[in-house]
Amino acid sequence: MSKIRSTDSAPEMLVRRLAFGLGYRYRLHVAKLPGKPDLVFPAKQKAIFVHGCFWHQHQHCQEGRPPSSNTGYWGPKLQRNVERDEKSRAQLRRMGWKSLVIWECKTKSRTRLAAKLKKFLG
Ligand SMILES: [Zn+2]
């Protein structure tokens, strides 16, 4: 089985560059944390997931709509991703971590993304 998620997607690189430019330092893909968050800020106990709208089924988003063909294949596969995401974030919460999901479609405005990062990371 190939991995569903590519580790260095373009939206993720963008978030990394922006966070770095704002002066935040992070670790990447910390495997010991639930869901292996994309950016991890250990001292703050905060984690960021950068999610592709399709793979993670972004609600109310054009890109997040499940495909209309071959639903028997995609439906359960995408549903599993969504359930896994929810489980990971709940586990992080229980461990005292805060997590933020940045959706791919929300990485288009750097200004808004920067504001979001600052709000979350303080
Ligand atoms: Zn989206």
The pLDDT tens digits of the residues spanning 34-58 come to 999 999 999 999 999 999 999 999 9
Distance 8 CA to ligand 1 centre (A): 18
Distance 57 CA to ligand 1 centre (A): 8
Check whether 68 has a pLDDT greater than 90: no
Asked if residues 4 and 55 have their Cβ atoms less than 8 Å apart, the reply is yes
Give pLDDT, residue 7. 55
φ/ψ of 47, rounded to 5, equals -140, 145
Percentage of residues in the chain with pLDDT exceeding 70?
A: 93
Going by DSSP bridges, is the β-strand pair 98-103/46-51 parallel, antiparallel, or unpaired? parallel
The pLDDT tens digits of the residues spanning 70-85 come to 888 888 989 999 999 9
Distance 55 CA to ligand 1 centre (A): 10
Considering all CA atoms of the chain, what is the largest pairwise distance in Å, rounded to the nearest integer? 45
Task: Give the pLDDT band of residue 14 (cuts 50, 70, 90).
Answer: very high
Distance 90 CA to ligand 1 centre (A): 21
The pLDDT tens digits of the residues spanning 86-121 come to 999 999 999 999 999 999 999 999 999 999 999 999
Give pLDDT, residue 2. 41
Give pLDDT, residue 72. 87
Task: Give the pLDDT band of residue 65 (cuts 50, 70, 90).
Answer: confident
Distance 91 CA to ligand 1 centre (A): 24
